[in-house]
Amino acid sequence: MKSTSELIDSLVADAKPVRRLRSPVMRALCWLLFAALLLTLVALVHGVRPDLMVKLHQPVFVVGVIAALTTAVLASIASFMASVPGRSRGWLLLPAPAVVAWMSTIGYGCLTNWISIGPHGMSPGETARCFATLAITGIPLSLVMLIMLRYVARLSPNSVVMTGSLAVAAMTAVALSLFHPLDATVMILMWNFGVAAILMVLSGLYGRRLFGWVTPQG
């Protein structure tokens, strides 16, 4: 075991100039810009859902997408803010109102459509394509977020990573609702809520390990 003064010596010897992090809001904007770029690319390659124009006139759909988008924006700002030591942990609560709005529009839409359509609304054929969209938006977004937040690994990873995953899940949900005709079914609830829940649970469980993978020196 080194003595503390020896440790200070070796740290001082290793003190290379470092580039300060940009402000958290700036970094959140960078991430959101990347997300926007990714969604545009997917839209170009895959094309938007055929009935998008019709859907854009339905208030429930529009409110739902806007709520998911707001959740993504607020959650990314919250995770970048809370990841900096010394900032208030209260930032983690920033996306809460948007999450409530998002989840309640899904629930409401699901309920009304269930009443009018019934249990035939399941469309398993769409599931595989949904999964593809989910992967090509969710994985890059998660990776970029993970790399941008790698310094938080030795601080307080779990809550920050969970908020980050909420941002990823919300962004993925926006992508799903723009690209796939999924409404009027239980599927939308499953996809939106399920993706959010799975991502958050996984990140809560494995956040530490993921960071260990991104930052070799831990």
Partner 1 sequence: MSSRTHRPGPTLSIVRNAQDAAQADHPPETSGTRADGTLDWSILMAHAQAGDRDAYRRLLEAITPYLRALAARRIGNRSDVEDTVQDILLTIHTVRQTYDPALPFGPWLVTIANRRVADGLRRQGRLGAHEAPLPFDPEYETFQAAETNLQEEAADASMLRDAVEHLPAGQRDAIRMLKLEEMSLKEAAAASGMSVAALKVATHRALKNLRRLIEKRGGRS
Binding mask 75-114 for partner 1 (x = CB under 8 A): --------xxxxx-x-------------------------
Residue 209 in contact with partner 1, rule: CB under 8 A: no
Which one, 112 or 158, has the nearer CB to partner 1? 158
Given 59, 115, 120, 217, the residue binding partner 1 (CB under 8 A)? 217
Residue 8 in contact with partner 1, rule: CB under 8 A: yes
Tell the smallest beta-carbon distance from residue 20 to partner 1 (Å).
6
- Coil, strand, or helix at residue 18? coil
Across 163-185, b (16+ Cβ under 10 Å) vs e yields bbbbbbbbbbbbbbbbbbebbbb
Dist. CA 167–CA 95, nearest whole Å:
9
CA 66 remoteness from chain centre: 15
Q: Please report which residue ranges of 94-185 form alpha helices under DSSP H.
A: 96-117, 124-148, 157-179
Residue 72 parent element (H or E): helix 59-83
Dist. CA 180–CA 130, nearest whole Å:
7
Which one, 116 or 217, has the nearer CB to partner 1? 217
Given 25, 26, 143, 155, the residue binding partner 1 (CB under 8 A)? 155
Tell the smallest beta-carbon distance from residue 83 to partner 1 (Å).
8
Tell the smallest beta-carbon distance from residue 152 to partner 1 (Å).
8
Which one, 129 or 154, has the nearer CB to partner 1? 154
- Minimal CA–CA distance to 102: which of 201, 28, 195, 37? 195
Site for partner 1 in 18-47 (CB under 8 A): 18-21, 23
- Minimal CA–CA distance to 183: which of 88, 18, 59? 59
The residues near 41 (Cβ < 8 Å, ≥ 6 apart) are none
Tell the smallest beta-carbon distance from residue 77 to partner 1 (Å).
16
Residue 15 in contact with partner 1, rule: CB under 8 A: yes
Tell the smallest beta-carbon distance from residue 40 to partner 1 (Å).
31
Dist. CA 186–CA 114, nearest whole Å:
8
Given 96, 144, 156, 190, the residue binding partner 1 (CB under 8 A)? 156
Number of residues that bind partner 1 (CB under 8 A): 28
User: Residues interacting with partner 1, by CB under 8 A?
Assistant: 1-2, 4, 7-8, 11-21, 23, 83-87, 89, 151, 154-156, 217
